[in-house]
Structure 1
């Protein structure tokens, strides 16, 4: 089993930068602003033949007792409890601070092996950069640079020295589910309810989640990966650089997922931003389930009003299932997960070519395409061209003349025949190539060529009689 290495330190010492270096990704959001990382962020790394799991944590404020900083500290302590070893990151340019000493004392009491990494030491003499950190009493400090990679491999070889080489766990194909929506609609609460623990910070403050957090969990013997994302506001209201990066991370999470759960707030009106976000999910071709949260806090009048708004503003999501839930009270969440499973199966469905062609021919027999000019399009056969979303490619003659209405007709026929619900379905047309099209006619022989042929013919006749 892979050892778990936890990165701990006060805010803005470079934990996320080191995390990206160790995982060889850009998964963690990095910006020159303290307190950017708030939730636990997991990733995979490897040194030589030793794979490991690395955990990025938020800035550790061990003395606070309330607010978002206290929630971040609690998340960090949970990560420490899960870890096999701790890398305590400090700032080599700022020197040892009183807060570093408090954190060192707290880590010493955990009983886990702790390694002090003095970060941001590029361009400095190593012995000078680490000298004052000996007073933390956690053994010899090591000079590293997360941004430039200096000393990082040597540090991780030392951290992993006590662990035996583990085999890489086989990566199973399982649903990746992106939880998306506007700020403060209950996305993190829904993630915690599905997982069964307070895995991410759920705080009554818009913009609590800033990064896309990947959370793996298992339910009824099946594995899932949830992606908790930052709330997406209207473009005109996004002013901070960090929030712009958060929005980009959310859109990337949608494209990385198999299924997106669009979370709406039943106590708020359906905004244009909700429709725009749903449109992006549709363009990305991802399976979709819509969850209207905080349903328990609304009366009958508000419930009828929100259903009318859904029918009017999100009518283009007719393929998706709608669930009315309370993430906080776990009402309606089990049926939501069932719809997620169904949407995933629909997105990854395999469609046999003979049956696709049979459904196509039945649809054409019921309703022929309209004539375009002097020709009528003739669909002949169909096959599957992709998954997530399912793509059906229809071949025939003059297919470029088919109208959009007939394309939607065929899409509905395929949906009904194969019971595809919860995912967009794309029907593409291909016109068969005519081998005689654009072929130049053969030019008639010239007089010289005719005379030459006749002369050769007379010579053969004279020679062979």
Structure 2
């Protein structure tokens, strides 16, 4: 089963989204922030895929967390993200994208979880505000450029089918098998097109690559002087691997492993 965490600030429509996915009122969804206190797990099937949905209390800004029950809710949300394979980050189209939205997004990325973004209540916006929220998203959450973004109405079911298809794709990318020969071929083609910059006497030599993990995918690159590879070149390799293996919707980690002999 795909373990799916539905996360976001209070009152963005997480429980309504789950009710729409399930087609029934399984989760209380009052029009009050924070009516869902605990993480609730619900199993359901859609097409030929099986899911376990995790609905959580909305994350509040840590500074405002006073009551122990609220602290517990935040912890449950963070645990749900870590227990999931894919997180759906629900944003409210009718309010600005906040620092707290960015914090939740950052935690999902740090956890290495596959991600799909749902901008909810989209149907209530005029053209000007649609453009404005898209600019806000690209400015404040540009580090989520690996994730698919969907404009939805959880209440009306608009866009929810496409959202679920992206969840499937993100899950498959997170658990994909990356063969060593193909990874190495992509690596060598990338180096041929743009070699890493020289540092001192030596230029880093990237020899071969293999997969070191899943959810998120980890690519281990072997060679010499790899501690000298700059962050910009790591990002360049990430783009090449993503494109070659269609790794949409999942973070990708690249680890460098150097052998000791710089002349080898």
Q: Confirm or deny a common fold (TM above 0.5).
A: yes
* 1:194 aligned partner: 21
- C-alpha distance in 1 between matches for 2:48 and 2:219: 32
CA RMSD of aligned residues (A): 1.4
Give the one of 335, 338, 346 matched to 2:173.
346
Query: Contact 2:120 / 2:153 at 8 angstroms: preserved in 1?
Result: yes
- C-alpha distance in 2 between matches for 1:334 and 1:233: 28
Report the alpha carbon displacement of residue 189 of structure 1 after superposing the two structures with TM: 0.5
Give the one of 131, 139, 142 matched to 1:312.
139
Secondary structure, counterpart of 1:357 in structure 2: helix
Report the alpha carbon displacement of residue 433 of structure 1 after superposing the two structures with TM: 3.7
Q: Which runs of 5+ in 1 are unaligned?
A: 1-173, 438-465
Secondary structure, counterpart of 2:221 in structure 1: strand
Q: Indicate whether 1:282 and 2:119 are aligned.
A: no
Give the one of 357, 364, 389 matched to 2:216.
389
- C-alpha distance in 1 between matches for 2:263 and 2:108: 43
- C-alpha distance in 2 between matches for 1:266 and 1:199: 24
- C-alpha distance in 2 between matches for 1:361 and 1:298: 47
- C-alpha distance in 2 between matches for 1:352 and 1:246: 40
- C-alpha distance in 1 between matches for 2:218 and 2:82: 17
* 1:402 aligned partner: 229
- C-alpha distance in 2 between matches for 1:230 and 1:208: 8
Q: Which runs of 5+ in 2 are unaligned?
A: none
- C-alpha distance in 1 between matches for 2:244 and 2:30: 45
Q: Is the radius of gyration larger for structure 1 or structure 2?
A: 1
Give the direction of change, closer, same or farther, for the CA distance of 1:435–1:373 in structure 2 (3 Å limit).
closer
Report the alpha carbon displacement of residue 221 of structure 1 after superposing the two structures with TM: 2.9
- C-alpha distance in 2 between matches for 1:435 and 1:281: 37
Question: What is the number of residues matched between the two proteins?
Answer: 264
Report the alpha carbon displacement of residue 435 of structure 1 after superposing the two structures with TM: 11
Q: Please, what TM-score do these two structures have when normalized by structure 2?
A: 0.98
* 2:83 aligned partner: 256
Secondary structure, counterpart of 2:210 in structure 1: strand
Report the alpha carbon displacement of residue 201 of structure 1 after superposing the two structures with TM: 0.7
Cα deviations by residue, 1:266-304 (Å, 9 ceiling, x for unpaired):
111100000111000000000110000011111111111
Secondary structure, counterpart of 1:210 in structure 2: coil
Q: Choose between structure 1 and 2 for higher RCO, CA contacts under 8 A separated by at least 6 residues.
A: 2
- C-alpha distance in 2 between matches for 1:383 and 1:215: 36
**Which runs of at least 4 in structure 1 moved beyond 2 Å after TM superposition?**
433-437
Give the one of 418, 421, 428 matched to 2:255.
428
- C-alpha distance in 2 between matches for 1:435 and 1:410: 21
